[in-house]
Structure 1
Amino acid sequence: MAEQDWLAERFDEHRAHLRSVAYRMLGSLHEADDAVQESWLRLSRSDTGDVANLRAWLTTVTGRICLDMLRARGSRREQPLDVHVPDPIVSPAGGVDPEQEALLAESVGLALYVVLETLNPAERLAFVLHDMFAVPFNDIAAMLGRSTDATKQLASRARGRVRAGGPQPDADLTRQQEAVRAFYEAAHRGDFDALVALLDPEAEMHSDGGATRPQVTGVTRGAAAIAGRALMFAHPDATVRPALVNGAAGAVVVVSGRPVSVMGFTVRDGVIVAIDVLADLDRLGRLDLSGLESA
């Protein structure tokens, strides 16, 4: 029992890191927790006496588990045009707490995770483990059963998709928040022209209403189309609670005391270039949105 307690303590030292790996691989907070728990079970059943670097060993194990989970999803999203917005990490507008910082690491904004959802499991594993966590290609190749060169090509393709997915948000969080606040103020006024002026002409909005609100699911492209959609779905009794969504400016929209959407914004050079919306009421109900102050 003493040995198991010691092993559990060692595992807990790496738990936040492993959850970060699993979240990037899966885009789901509860599935990430499941993957981390499975990693512990495998560790507790393994002989690790010859393991020199437990963190690296656990990272590899977690990666394999996540790869299996991605493959097992199968045809969960059968329609090729379906939009899936991953679970957002929502924090008060004033800042991210230490546990969330560990989960987010260096990535900022929800848009990256939306792009990751478009990668196949092998591409996602190669990109996430190598580019985000510096796992050697040789180790990733062994996990995939492919050559090192083929694994490098997978990561390269994924990298290209991520770069094409849109620019990173402005580093100035205050500037981001100003653009988001102006967006909601214009929507509340019903000011179509003001909304268009706040949006990049080629902006995109990805909305995921899930099974509960399929009518809001889809991709909307162009400033005018997004402005029109914002006005269409504007609710006169809505309360907008400023928040950080995956570390970037965003908001939680509440109607009659119930969250109806989490919206993450990508703001570049003072204009909004992307909006990612989670409007699935079932998934929203599972998010921890406590601590957000009303606007």
Structure 2
Amino acid sequence: MNQKYAAIFLAAIMVMSIFSYFVASFIGDSGNDEVAADVQDAPGFEIIDGTHFEADINSISDGLAISPEGISNAAYIDYSKVYGTPLQAFAPNITDLYSVYNTLIVKRYSAYNDDGFAFEAHVLSPEIVNFQYMPAETYNGYQILLRGQELYNVIGTPTLLGQQSSLEDVIDVSSGIANASTDYAELLEYVEPGAEYQMLSSNDILADQHYLEFRGTGDGNYTRTEIFLNPSDSALSTISALEGNSTERGLLYDTTIEDDGKIVKVVVTANESNFFNLAMEQYW
């Protein structure tokens, strides 16, 4: 691991890099007058033959359950809960959420590894087919749709987006042909359910594995939770230093150490007026 991974991780926090790539691909193709039929007139998923993909996507753990082994980075965000709150800072412009399908993406999971695997899972509302596509071949009963620029969809809840080989890998996991990712099983034991934004990385200089989440607490406060597997000494020193002066920045720290130092969990709370301090604080 080296310094570039810190920059990659931080950039992904702010712009959700895989999503930005996919959106750019479709924006480049959608500048004509036919951008979308009226949503009310668009057909539903039933017009697509074959098996429709089906899985729960309510957390990063749900996403990993349909991802193959070897995931190096993953992210989950519930857009339906972040807009109109400070957490909107981690979401793209809402226009971008429409640009991929001409219907709204309300939840999104993404995963990739260093060997070229990458895919996204999108929960859409309403579930309509309001985009241009060409049917490609079927795979294990699923109709694969060509979207252009080597990107494909598999319709369902969620709808999958990625290169064909990656989508076939996801179908294999969902069908029980291949094993689901257990790459972060140990780290996820310390995660509480319900976060609007979650991210995992094993390409990180802070630790062997790094989990990050943001959530609203329902009382006007927000928390950032970071969990580290085998954190580096420099990360621990930085955490300690920032915790020492946290009250001056309107932040409340709760740090716990588990398994003889193998796991370090940091929960930081702030009110809305101090959300910027909460969001921008870094341990590298």
Q: TM-score, normalised by structure 1?
A: 0.30
Structure with greater strand percent: 2
From the two aligned structures, give the one with the greater helix fraction. 1
